[in-house]
Amino acid sequence: MRRDPLIALRPWESPEVTSWGRMPMNAVDRRNDALSLDGSWHFQMVPAPGASSGEWTRIEVPGAWTMQDVGDLPQYTNFRMPWGEFPPTSPTANPTGVYERSVDIPAEWAGRRIVLQVGAAESVLLVHVNGHPVGISKDSHLAAEFDLSDVVRPGGSATLRLTVIKWSDASHIEDQDQWWHAGITRSVLLYTTDALHLGDVTVRARRDGRLRVDCQVRNASGALPEGWYVTGALEGHQLLAQDTEFDRLNAEDMRVSDFLGEARLRTTVRDVRPWTAETPELYELTVRLHRADGSVADTSHHRVGFRDVEIRGRDLLVNGERVFIRGVNRHDFHPLTGRTVTAEDMRADLVVMKRFGFNAIRTAHYPNDPALLDLADELGFYVVDEANIESHDHAHEIADDPRYLAAFVDRVSRMVLRDKNHPSVIIWSLGNESDYGANHDAAAGWVRRHDPSRPLQYEGAAKLDWSDETVASDIVCPMYAPIEDCVAHALSGKQTKPLIQCEYSHAMGNSNGTLADHWAAIESTPGLQGGFIWEFWDHGILQRVNDGRPAGRAGVGLYDNGVAAPGHRWAYGGDFGETIHDGAFIADGVVFPDRTPKPAMYEHREIAAPVRLTYAQGVLLVHNRQHFRTLEWLTAEWHLVRADGGTESTPAELPDVLPCESAAVHVPFPLPESPEGEAWLTLRVTTAGDEAWAPRGTEVCLPQVRLGAGTTAAPVPVAGPPAEVDEEGLLVHPILAAPPVLSLWRAPTDNDEIGGMAARWRDWGLDALVRKVVDVRREGAGVTVVAEYATGGGTVRHEQLITPVAGGLRIEESAELPDTLDDVARVGTVFETVGGLDVLEWYGQGPWESYPDRSAGAPVGHHSLAVDELFTPYLRPQESGGRHGVRRFALSAPDATGLTVELGAPSQVSATRHRAEDLAAAAHHDELVPRPGCVVHLDAAHRGLGTASCGPDTSSQYLIAPGIHRWTWTLRVP
Ligand code: GAL
Ligand code: MG
């Protein structure tokens, strides 16, 4: 058999070989007039490049093969490589997919240039057409184009063979924290152009209306013909003029050489509507390349946004404004297809982001599908476009390894060439977690020369010394920096660059504690400008439980509200039988794998709200928190929430207030007179008309202020039936299935586990407290019960004084924590009710889940939810469903029987179907068996959530101090 030269070259172990036969990247979008080759292809999986199995099957393109049941499953590792080979080598067992199909080349393409585009292939692509070697490409997240004009015959049929090699030298620089997949993950297409064509188009549009379009003209069949010219039209009418000075500098016809022509068009648009993320104004531009006789040889369409981005001092300015960057990191992810995402999927992602107040995206950690940037332009996002370079496991070796130099420059430059015309892209990123070396400087040098119009960032360059101005980063973009460090830097007098965290507030499980504290610091400290939450997605793959396979496309509809359908679960690391994996660390997003927002999203929505309220000394102010818009696009309603049960509402007139300004408005209700009259004023803000991302009437935010403080009168003891306790001093009550006892533990969150708190709690034995009653004293109708709990950190003394009061029992409790127990999960009471109490009504913060350090987005109100809806199905079961600041609640059955609890002080409360130990014992949500009754926790103190799974723990003010804790509650059964 003839030796295949592409195999003989062994490109999978040659980092110097970044491509062969591949055409230069450009920004002319050919997707619309192309022949799609998506669909079913013949497919063969072979154990190594060059091998053959002879067994053909079918596969869907685009689609990772790891999601299509062909014998190679997804594997999750964070930063460690899934195998031990050192760069640039990879394992000899190297799954290789051979894709084949025939394609009829239209007869009318005769004499034209014919180009194959492979949207993305992971990690090495070899192209053969009709048995001829055509090309090689690397970079799993950028398209590769090959000129097939000489190897296919119009009117005939061609056989395309795309060989995709899973592991390679390139895997070492694609070591991102995500699932390892393989295959062709984006669309494949063929397109045709005239031999005379637009090689590239570069658009620069400024906020003042200046527009410049640089065109490269090439001819595939030899020297450029005489007399060609280029025209441009904006929105169909405004014609762009040739730049005469530019013409003079170049020969007539703007021909630079026999093979390269250049044309520069320009115009100034009067009264231009500038592009910003708040006002994503786009103009259609059509560029035409003409032959001497005026006929059109090629056309290119662009959507232009007029905007400026610059760094002045330590501020990043968009159109002259220091905008806040309310960002989120986004991977291309789908629970059924892995990395293959459609434009509709991406639109849905961006719609959710918009509805929850995000205005920026970092394309972690590679150029996303090109449609993402079209959508970002259209819906309005600031984008940090990141190159596909992460050498995490071998970062230090690779950053200076000259064998990888070409790959670094190739990946960064091709991204810039593809994406340079998008107004949404305001910053280039050299990649992620790859240390810092000469290879980065080389890539940075290329970008700075090629596109001086945008800043450049790279976390690895800026991190050693935030004040170092010489490194390859115009922005200090740390990850998970503590709030105090950021503030200290901004106040140090040494800050020279904007500080925008490329990752912060790790959203793994029940997390994002202290988000509001971050933003309080950012908004009050010049020099701090925001950051990107890690991350958007929980990357759970929908998996069939019976055979452990990815459900794949057959899983459509087999999930709802964040939960996989029966017989299915969200797989994380290890669930596909991988021995090397990093577990649930892959599930760290603000949305579940089906894009259902986690409660943390509501916290973000409120922090990012365009409208805010303040109320002080009788003055009610409405603040416009936007940078570019008035409040005209919003409509609102006032709600007055009174402690005594009522909520009144009235339409609100939003004041005409300029961006970043405030206006005083009248309090729309009479103010409460007595101190008992705790009252809250909420402004429910919705969209006034249809937005591209939200139909009219979509809730945008719920800012709230407190109008009057309240006091709760202590219930008066009455003579009545004495409280009944058993010989252990445990309360006996018909509504309770398990009596109220002390609880100091919660089912560890991911932050608790990874941050090490859970291990200490287990060492102290808090997960299995053993209660010893030491005293039961009756005084009148009341009873005092003293119990002791022996822990690894000393004895905890717990007292309950149970007194009959009108309609029920008052329970006054205290717990004394020895000094060693200086960081427990909670101090409070847990009990279980009888079955059938399915609805919780409460007065307190809500309606969504909230915790002490994540409660800025949950307004006080009268809320009501089914108990099953209170629970948040975090992928790895953990503490869930809490509600902060609860003053009273009722749990009731459909026949109105049930219980009410009045709390002595606003408390953290949860009512779920699971004991903490049930949650802690389960690895997946589908393993949980709901209990018939409700497990109710009322906590005098509850530890903040923090973000310790990656980054800082919660601040000390949200920790629970040792010493005496007291709380009181009143239980009634109406
Ligand atoms: C960062 C990294 C991300 C992800 C995150 C933790 O260090 O850039 O890719 O690993 O931590 O989830
Ligand atoms: Mg990493």
CATH classification of the domain holding 502: 3.20.20.80
pTM to 2 decimal places: 0.97
**CATH code of 96's domain:** 2.60.120.260
Q: Using alpha carbons, list the distances in angstroms from residue 229 to 225, 290, 293.
A: 10, 5, 10
Q: Considering 13, 262, 386, 503, which one is annotated as catalytic?
A: 503
Has residue 40 been placed in a domain? yes
Which two structure tokens, joined as six digits, stand for 61? 């393109």
Same domain, 454 and 564: no
Which regions of 487-581 does DSSP assign to beta strands (E)?
499-504, 528-533, 541-544, 559-560, 563-564, 568-571
Which two structure tokens, joined as six digits, stand for 577? 């039988």
Residue located nearest, by CA, to atom 10 of ligand 1: 177
Q: How far is the CA of 167 from the centre of ligand 1 (A)?
A: 22
Same domain, 38 and 81: yes
Has residue 713 been placed in a domain? no
Has residue 46 been placed in a domain? yes
Which two structure tokens, joined as six digits, stand for 132? 């001829």
Catalytic annotation present for 433: yes
Q: Which of 533, 534, 536, 572 to mutate to test the pocket of ligand 1 (most atoms within 8 A of CB)?
A: 534
Q: How far is the CA of 686 from the centre of ligand 1 (A)?
A: 35
Could you read off the pLDDT of 97-153 as tens digits, one per residue?
A: 999 999 999 999 999 999 999 999 999 999 999 999 999 999 999 999 999 999 999
Residue located nearest, by CA, to atom 11 of ligand 1: 950
Domain boundary among 142, 162, 193: 193
Ligand 1 pocket check for 393: Cβ under 6 Å = no
Catalytic annotation present for 503: yes
Residue located nearest, by CA, to atom 6 of ligand 1: 950
Q: List b or e across 258-286, with b for residues whose CB sees 16 or more CB atoms inside 10 angstroms.
A: eeebbbbbbbebeebebbbbbbbebbebe
Q: Considering 60, 390, 433, 459, which one is annotated as catalytic?
A: 433
Look up residue 264 and give its amino acid. Answer: R
Residues in CB range of 72: below 8 A, 6 or more apart: 45, 65, 66, 95, 166, 182
Same domain, 234 and 179: no
Whole-angstrom Cα distance, residue 497 to residue 360? 19
Nearest to 497 by CA among 459, 465, 469, 461: 469
Domain that holds residue 640: 611-702
Ligand 1 pocket check for 436: Cβ under 6 Å = no
Has residue 827 been placed in a domain? yes
**Eight-class DSSP state of 896:** S
Atom of ligand 1 nearest to the CA of 79: 10
Residues in CB range of 126: below 8 A, 6 or more apart: 6, 7, 11, 49, 133, 135, 136, 162, 163, 164, 165
Same domain, 158 and 58: yes
Neighbours of 339 (CB within 10 A): 29
Residue located nearest, by CA, to atom 2 of ligand 1: 177
Bridge partners of 106, per DSSP, are: none
Same domain, 291 and 231: yes
Residue located nearest, by CA, to atom 9 of ligand 1: 177
Domain boundary among 702, 727, 744: 702
Ligand 1 pocket check for 754: Cβ under 6 Å = no
Contact 717, 804 (CB under 8 A): yes
Ligand 1 pocket check for 534: Cβ under 6 Å = yes
pLDDT at residue 940 in the model:
97
The CA-based angle 197-203-206, given to 5 degrees, is 165
pLDDT at residue 644 in the model:
81
Same domain, 510 and 550: no
Q: How far is the CA of 177 from the centre of ligand 1 (A)?
A: 6
Same domain, 279 and 295: yes
With H, G, I as helix, E, B as strand and everything else as coil, classify residue 763: helix
Q: How far is the CA of 830 from the centre of ligand 2 (A)?
A: 40
Has residue 285 been placed in a domain? yes
Same domain, 742 and 827: yes
Ligand 1 pocket check for 588: Cβ under 6 Å = yes
Number of domains present in the structure of the chain: 6
Q: How far is the CA of 951 from the centre of ligand 1 (A)?
A: 10
Same domain, 804 and 849: yes
> How many CA atoms does the CB half-sphere of 401 hold within 13 Å?
22
**CATH code of 777's domain:** 2.70.98.10
Atom of ligand 1 nearest to the CA of 508: 12
Nearest to 629 by CA among 889, 276, 324: 276
Ligand 1 pocket check for 374: Cβ under 6 Å = no
With H, G, I as helix, E, B as strand and everything else as coil, classify residue 963: strand
> How many CA atoms does the CB half-sphere of 670 hold within 13 Å?
4
Has residue 78 been placed in a domain? yes
Ligand 1 pocket check for 538: Cβ under 6 Å = no
Same domain, 494 and 474: yes
Bridge partners of 210, per DSSP, are: 268
In the block, tokens 């949207």 appear at 119
CA-based torsion, 292, 294, 297, 303: positive or negative: positive
Nearest to 881 by CA among 953, 831, 823, 934: 934
The angle that helices 343-355 and 370-379 make with each other, rounded to 10 degrees, is: 40
Whole-angstrom Cα distance, residue 536 to residue 341? 15
Whole-angstrom Cα distance, residue 407 to residue 394? 15
Has residue 712 been placed in a domain? no
Ligand 1 pocket check for 502: Cβ under 6 Å = no
Q: Which residues of the chain have pLDDT under 50?
A: 1, 248-250
Atom of ligand 1 nearest to the CA of 364: 9
Q: How far is the CA of 795 from the centre of ligand 1 (A)?
A: 40
pLDDT at residue 670 in the model:
81
